[in-house]
Amino acid sequence: MAESFECKFTNPRSEIEKEIADLSPWFHNLHLPGGIQTAPNHKLGDFPSFNWLQIAPYLPENINEMTVLDIGCNAGFYSFELAKLGAKVTAIDSNDHYLRQAKWGAEKLHLEKNITFKNMQLYDLINSDEKYDIIFFLGVFYHLRYPLLGLDIVVSRTNKFLIFQTLTLPGDDSFERTPFDLDYEKRGILNQPNWPRMAFIENRLAGDPTNWWIPNIACVHAMLRASGLVIKHKICREFYICEPGEKNQLSHQVNFNFKT
């Protein structure tokens, strides 16, 4: 999704603005010293500051020294906010363009010592046993070709909290929990609009070929539960604070014994 909302920085008037223009296009509007912003004309507004303002009150009061993993860190906005609060941040992204922006932003904000950047696919987390106190998993789920594999891997790396967001299908948020065992003859209810479902995007959505699966809200809840998570807070539509629950779900019997 990032691509369709990216901003080119034009008409640079200072050295730092020239650097911003050279690193264009930007999805994150970073606020830099001296009131400089990287995407001041972002179509979504001051993105993602307005999301951070909603999430921050739900984080533990003191995250100083906690380990945080920012998956799909993009230009690093969330990593920077977390590092400012004293967290030890690992920021991963599979796209070098965004990582270049993030490393540059970290220098400008003097946060480079607090953040480890890695060019990594989410699926590569399978190859490490490291767990993180808090994982930010925002705006990445619908980019995954293998969404439940990705979610299960992320849950297996979460110690305390998973902050989750995905693009969703528009529509009614109300739904009932799915039955424990759906009768074969009653499978027609799978056609009901509020049954947990994901739309598959064969080609592009908003010009982006990496948008693969768009779930409805019922599906988000069901998948989070099925991956062994408990939803602690629904911050707003699409944003959730989750904790690992009892590991008795089928998905946790998945053995990740393979290399990506």
Ligand X SMILES: C[S@@+](CC[C@H](N)C(=O)[O-])C[C@H]1O[C@@H](n2cnc3c(N)ncnc32)[C@H](O)[C@@H]1O
Residues lying near ligand X in the complex (CB under 6 A): 1-2, 48, 72, 74, 92-95, 98, 121-122, 138-140, 143-144
3-state class percentages of the chain: helix first, strand second, coil last, to nearest 5: 35, 25, 45
**By C-beta, is 165 or 216 nearer to ligand X?**
165
Closest CB 138 distance from ligand X, rounded Å: 3
Closest CB 1 distance from ligand X, rounded Å: 4
Calpha distance 157→180 (Å, rounded): 27
Q: Report the Cα–Cα distance between both ends of the chain, in Å, rounded.
A: 24
**By C-beta, is 2 or 126 nearer to ligand X?**
2
Closest CB 122 distance from ligand X, rounded Å: 4
**By C-beta, is 122 or 226 nearer to ligand X?**
122
Using CA atoms, how far residue 141 sits from 68, 181, 194, 240, 242, in Å, is 18, 27, 20, 13, 15
Closest CB 51 distance from ligand X, rounded Å: 7
Instruction: Tell me the pairing of strands 239-244 and 158-165.
Output: antiparallel
Calpha distance 198→185 (Å, rounded): 22
Q: Which residue is nearest to ligand X (CB)?
A: 72
**By C-beta, is 92 or 135 nearer to ligand X?**
92
Closest CB 165 distance from ligand X, rounded Å: 6
Which strand ranges, in their side-by-side order, compose the sheet holding 239-244?
115-119, 88-93, 67-71, 132-138, 158-165, 239-244, 229-236
Calpha distance 247→244 (Å, rounded): 8
**By C-beta, is 9 or 78 nearer to ligand X?**
78
Closest CB 90 distance from ligand X, rounded Å: 12
Instruction: Say how far residue 234 (Cα) sits from the centre of its chain.
Output: 15
**By C-beta, is 171 or 209 nearer to ligand X?**
209
